[in-house]
Amino acid sequence: MKRTVAALASACAVGAIIATSVGVGTAESASAAPAANDGRIKNVIYLLGDGMGRTHVTAGRERFYGANGRMVMETLPSHGFVSTYAAEKNSGQPGQPDFVPNYVTDSASAATAWASGVKTYNAALGVDAKGEMTPTVMEMAKKAGYRTGNVSTAEITDATPAGQMSHALARGCQGPVYSAKSCQDTKVTGGAELPTSDLRVTPIAKQIARNGTADVILGGGLSRFDNEDEKALRDQGYEVLSSPASQTVATEDDLAKAEGGKVFGLFNKGNLTVEKSKQDNPASAEAKEPTLAEMTTKSIDLLGKGGEKGNGFYLQVEGALIDKRSHANDAAQTLEEIKAFDDAVAVALDFAKKDGHTLVIVTADHECAGFNVIEKGSFTNAEAANPPVNVDGGNTANNSTPSRPSGNTKDASRSTGIVNGAGAADPHNFAPATFRTADDPAGVRDGTKEASLWLTYLSGNHTGADVPVYSYGAGSEKLQGTVDNTDLFGIVADALRLR
């Protein structure tokens, strides 16, 4: 891990310079400094908004708190950025002669970066780019006697949670019904198919149900598990809130009653239900699913009882649907998922302030869909009748209107006007979704031209933009300036004295 340590040291030096010269942090955040934290970290709570770029945070702030407000995550005292690039299959590590980067990561390679400290290819979990297994920080924490938790609004076998508690050549190898081929990757194994006894081609649900890496497992994805998995969980002493055998999902009431040292609770057969849909359908069965904040509160409660050595705990919490609704270009649902994630951050921060021995890290795995805030009343190149060519000829300096050939007009066939919450339903519509904010006068409604927050998407895919990182507690000073996603592994491992 020498490479990671060296990279981290230089990143920290840069961070210190930036913090001094531009005054990272606000007056508000300075008052939130971890005065109660004595420098000995017992617990790490690592929260990530999947697909949450810097502009997702800005849009959430303006939507819910107005221009002068702050999301809770923005009040954490340490701010920085994380580079997120991945590697191509069979690549070496950065700095090695055979390193080949892929500038846009997926959730699997990003999760492997912070869980194991290595760059890997998109779709890989707990293996490096050459397919070699790498230990994860959650496995290391468990081995060292910490209690561990893994929480997500996605299927718990999905890439982000799986990156801490499984090793797979292909993230699609989730289980229980799967084609053995979907678990193989012969490009990585030199043309050979691995025997099904090899962990790297064993369905992720089977691994999670048997390896005991996480004491508390909360999220979705019950249909990935079967009755053999349930038996394996019970044999290890898990309190199983949702029965894989009967495919009965757990509810928020079941979660409230849970009290075991090891708890397995899945609240949907697939991903959890988006918050906006629960708000719009309060009488539905899905509305009984716990929120991310509720799952975080309960996890801290269950894990906070102390490990074998009184060491504390390591908890990962994922707001997964920010990404999934950004892929769908559904800004209304994306915004509610950002708020739900921020509510979970508030739970973690409250605990950390009272506890005094907790490092809270809030970040993302990558940006999704090029989410952007455009000027009220304006439109994007995607809507323009004649998008500008990608050269600077004719672009007059200091001219703040776009230099679009043949005038600044919209193409009616590509822009049918403002559409909120259904951008994905119309492939020809590149128009913005508009939202009222806390600053708007009463009576201004979402989806109108009077609403002040105008949001657009560049694409339906991930982008290579750096993502923000906010942190609180001893060790958070290492997360100022720009760090790489693989550095997060070392920062957590060092905070918990795992190496």
Q: Measured between alpha carbons, how far is residue 4 from residues 32, 100, 116, 314, 485 in Å? A: 30, 18, 11, 21, 10
Through-space distance between the first and last CA atoms of the chain, rounded to whole angstroms = 9
**Rounded least distance, CB 201 to Zn ion, Å:** 23
CB of 106 to Zn ion, least distance (A): 7
Which residue's C-beta sits nearest to Zn ion?
323
Cα–Cα–Cα angle for 348, 349, 355, nearest 5°? 90
CA 166, 169, 172, 178 torsion: positive or negative?
negative
Nearest to Zn ion of 289, 323 (CB atom): 323
230, 289, 318, 323: which one contacts Zn ion (CB under 5 A)?
323
Cβ closer to Zn ion: 323 or 343? Answer: 323
Q: Least distance (Å) from Zn ion to the CB of residue 79?
A: 24
User: Catalytic pick from 107, 116, 152, 471?
Assistant: 107
Our CB check for Zn ion shows the closer of 78 and 122 to be: 122
Maximum distance among all Cα pairs of the chain, rounded to whole angstroms? 71
Smallest distance, Å, CB 164 to Zn ion? 18
Judging by beta carbons within 10 Å of its beta carbon (0-12, 13-18, 19+), is residue 1 exposed, middle or buried? middle
Q: Which residues pair with residue 216 across a beta bridge?
A: 149, 263
- Please report whether residue 318 would count as binding Zn ion according to CB under 5 A: no
Whichever of 258 and 364 has its CB closer to Zn ion, that residue is 364
Q: Which residue carries 């500038």 as its tokens?
A: 103
What is the rounded distance in angstroms from the CA atom of residue 68 to the CA atom of residue 272? 32
Q: Quick check: 323 and 368 in contact, CB under 8 A?
A: yes
C-beta closer to Zn ion: residue 124 or 258: 124
Exposure b/e, 292-304, CB count within 10 A at least 16 = b: bbbbbbbbbebbb
Coil vs helix vs strand at 307: coil
CA distance 31 to 55: 25
Could you tell me which stretch among 71-79, 243-251, 317-325, 463-471 binds Zn ion (CB under 5 A)? 317-325
Options 141-149, 185-193, 320-328, 372-380: segment touching Zn ion (CB under 5 A): 320-328
Q: How far is the CB of 325 from Zn ion (least distance, A)?
A: 10
Q: How many residues bind Zn ion (CB under 5 A)?
A: 1
Instruction: Tally the residues of the chain.
Output: 499
CB 311, CB 145: distance < 8 Å: yes
* Residue 107 annotated to the active site: yes
- CB 56 → Zn ion: shortest distance, Å? 13
Q: Would you say 156 or 232 has its CB closer to Zn ion?
A: 156
* Sites of contact with Zn ion (CB under 5 A): 323
Q: Which residues are catalytic?
A: 107
